């Protein structure tokens, strides 16, 4: 019977933006609470003393949850701590003062803000790197030879990493420092996004000019030296990006313009049509579903079409026989 209770767990997790989550609370935790209840209600001389107070239970449960997470996984902190909110569990431990106050917050956040913030920052950093890898894999159109493509990908990756690292460092600064540095981020980030877009199109020289303008603007508005005489971090980042692009430009200048091979499918199709060798167009009668009587004919026509495509001699970048490049970033 579906009385509306079946989906309550899933609905609660979605409403609380909990992710990821399992399909149920921890049964192992329920078993452990049963053991503690047995100690509380049994022979006190043989009891461990864990159930004497809510604080003792919290200490034990905290270690138990951490051990379960580290050793086996399968559940999140939310699923391990949720059994404490069940009416049946609270009724069983009604004699323990403060038991009803035990929850995820009291277990892992109260008086633990330093560790919590550290874990949160590490989670944010991990997420940022994961999303960065996704963006790179989705955005980069590998063009020309594998060597050119890999150099472009590495340059884009290096440039993106530097601005994201600088932005992350600025967020951790004190207010007085953050105010000035955040203004520099507002200048640098859009400029570097434009540089990355230019690199994706193979326009290395254009990206280099953009980085040169960025350096000059930072120098004009903020100078290059800090109070201690060292180079300002913002200018140093812009200078390092300029160095990456300068090296890439010096290499690309000795090769064919890689932009010419950065063609979309439609452009390649136009190239194909420009060839003086025409392609046979499949008529509507040929483009019907195959039956048992005409499968052989369809296969033959397919082979003819493939042969025509081969004869068209469209120039495509050829992969090396012994290709050891790893194109994933």
Q: What is the pLDDT of residues 285-312, one digit of tens each?
A: 444 433 344 444 444 554 555 455 445 4
pLDDT on residue 64:
93
**Residue 211 is inside which H or E element, if any?**
helix 204-222
CA distances from 221 to 115, 172, 225 (A): 39, 23, 12
pTM value? 0.39
Tell which wins on pLDDT, 51 or 251: 51
Q: Which residue reads 């452990």 in tokens?
A: 32
pLDDT on residue 55:
92
CA distance 74 to 290: 49
CA distance 241 to 257: 21
Tell me which residue of 158, 162, 320, 151 sits closest to 248, measured CA to CA: 151
Q: What is the pLDDT of residues 178-229, one digit of tens each?
A: 667 788 888 898 998 999 888 888 888 898 999 899 989 988 888 888 778 8
What three-state secondary structure class fits 13?
helix
Tell me which residue of 253, 251, 252, 263 sits closest to 316, measured CA to CA: 263
Share of the chain above pLDDT 90, in %: 14
pLDDT on residue 295:
41
Mean pLDDT of 312-329: 41
pLDDT on residue 95:
87
Mean pLDDT for the chain overall: 74
pLDDT band at 59 (very low <50, low <70, confident <90, very high): very high
pLDDT band at 156 (very low <50, low <70, confident <90, very high): confident
pLDDT on residue 148:
65
- Residue 177 burial by Cβ neighbours in a 10 Å radius (0-12, 13-18, 19+): exposed
134-148, 182-196, 256-270: range with lowest mean pLDDT: 256-270
Mean pLDDT of 140-153: 59
1-5, 59-63, 247-251, 282-286: range with lowest mean pLDDT: 282-286
Res. 170: pLDDT tops 70: yes
Mean pLDDT of 7-17: 77
Give the up-direction half-sphere exposure of residue 28: CA atoms within 13 A in the CB hemisphere. Answer: 14
Q: What is the pLDDT of residues 35-51, one digit of tens each?
A: 999 888 877 666 678 88
For residue 306 the two structure tokens come to: 């493939």
pLDDT on residue 257:
47
Tell which wins on pLDDT, 282 or 63: 63
pLDDT on residue 100:
93
Taking residue 65's Cβ as centre, other Cβ atoms within 10 Å add up to: 22
Tell which wins on pLDDT, 44 or 165: 165
pLDDT band at 90 (very low <50, low <70, confident <90, very high): very high
What residues contact residue 108 under an 8 Å CB cut-off, 6+ apart? 62, 77, 116
């Amino acid at each position: 019977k579906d009385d509306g209770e079946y989906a309550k767990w899933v609905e609660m997790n979605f409403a609380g933006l909990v992710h990821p989550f399992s399909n149920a609370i921890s049964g192992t935790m329920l078993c452990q609470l049963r053991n503690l209840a047995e100690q509380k209600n049994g022979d006190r001389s043989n009891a461990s003393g864990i159930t004497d107070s809510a604080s003792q239970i919290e200490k034990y449960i905290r270690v138990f949850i951490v051990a379960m997470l580290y050793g086996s996984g399968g559940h999140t902190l939310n699923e391990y701590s949720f059994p404490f909110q069940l009416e049946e569990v609270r009724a069983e431990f009604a004699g323990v003062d403060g038991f009803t106050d035990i929850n995820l917050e009291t277990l892992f956040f109260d008086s633990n803000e330093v560790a919590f913030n550290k874990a949160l920052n590490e989670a944010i950093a991990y997420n940022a790197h994961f999303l960065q890898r996704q963006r790179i894999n989705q955005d980069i159109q590998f063009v020309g030879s594998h060597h050119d493509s890999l150099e472009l990908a590495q340059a884009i990756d290096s440039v993106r990493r530097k601005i994201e690292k600088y932005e992350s460092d600025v967020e951790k600064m004190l207010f007085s420092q953050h105010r000035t540095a955040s203004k520099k981020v507002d200048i640098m980030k859009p400029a570097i996004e434009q540089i990355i877009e230019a690199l994706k199109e193979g326009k290395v020289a254009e990206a280099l000019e953009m980085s040169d303008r960025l350096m000059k603007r930072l120098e004009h508005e903020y100078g290059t030296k800090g109070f201690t005489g060292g180079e300002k971090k913002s200018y140093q980042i812009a200078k390092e990006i300029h160095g990456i692009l300068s090296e890439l430009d010096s290499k690309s200048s000795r090769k064919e313009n890689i932009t010419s091979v950065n063609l979309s499918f439609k452009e390649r199709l136009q190239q194909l049509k420009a060839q003086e060798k025409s392609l046979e167009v499949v008529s509507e009668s040929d483009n019907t579903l195959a039956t048992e009587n005409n499968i052989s004919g369809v296969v033959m026509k397919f082979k003819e079409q493939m042969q025509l495509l081969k004869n068209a001699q469209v120039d495509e970048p050829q992969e090396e026989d012994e290709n050891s490049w790893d194109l994933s970033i």
